Amino acid sequence: MAVLNKIRQRSVFLIIIIALALFSFVLADVIRNGGLSSQSSQNVIATVNGEEIGREEFAREVEAFERNMGRNISTTQAVNRIWDQKLREVILEEQVEELGIRAGEGQITNLVRSQMAGNPNFTNEAGMFDENRLREYVANLKETSPEAYQQWQQFTSNLAKTAKLNTYYNMVSAGVGATLLEGEQAYRLQNDNINMKFVQIPYSSIPDSEVEVSKS
């Protein structure tokens, strides 16, 4: 009982000590995670070459990829695929920007045409792609469905990135081609023939007495 009475008498003191301990724990956690402003960074899953990859944007892309693939892919596979895609985009886009590569309107139009060529909604009676039907479709989206129109804009933005990357890949491919001199050397190595005769004399057939050893 005496012990219980002492605890009751010092209950306020104990509460203060516990509160200070909890506050110290929370403060240490805040400092360890980069301060109070770190809460805003919780929406960032990674930073690649100084560019942040947002959690919400990443999740949306994973969900969209899963919808497009249906049951043919697991969530883990979708996450890995989008993650690899993000890494390539950030690293390659940095190189593209440094080189000043831009996507022309003609390149984007060709990519849109190739993507939509098999869609029956955008073909005419002859089964050929009809660009006017596509324009009407996009204009209708803009008027009736802002969300769908935003998705279309994101689609064309991704095509613009693809066009720039294609230009970059073409430049790299052109840079790693063989020169005329290298081609000539490869041709000669494969096709030049020389007839020759040689005689082999094994060193074991030479008597030791005929061999003179010098100190130099």
pLDDT tens digits along 100-136: 888 888 888 888 888 777 778 888 888 888 888 888 9
Same domain, 94 and 126: no
92 and 139 in a single domain? The answer is: no
What does the buried/exposed string (b/e) look like for 146-160 if buried means 16 or more CB atoms within 10 Å of the residue's CB?
A: eeebeeeeeeeeebb
Co-location of 64 and 120 in the same domain: no
27: confidence class by pLDDT, cuts 50, 70, 90: very low
Mean predicted lDDT score pLDDT of the chain = 76
The two structure tokens encoding residue 88: 């390539």
In the structure, what pLDDT confidence band is assigned to residue 23 with cuts at 50, 70 and 90? very low
Query: Rounded distance, CA 186 to CA 53, Å?
Result: 47
Same domain for 96 and 66? yes
- pLDDT bin (cut points 50, 70, 90) of residue 15 is low
Task: Examine residue 163 and state whether it is found in any structural domain, yes or no.
Answer: yes
- Residue 166 inside a domain? The answer is yes
Residues recorded for the chain: 216
Residue 182, in any domain of the structure: no
More confident residue, 174 or 9: 174
Q: How many domains does the chain have?
A: 3
Q: What is the mean pLDDT of residues 46-54?
A: 81
Instruction: Report angle CA 125, 127, 131 to the nearest 5 degrees.
Output: 85
Structure tokens at 201: 């004399």
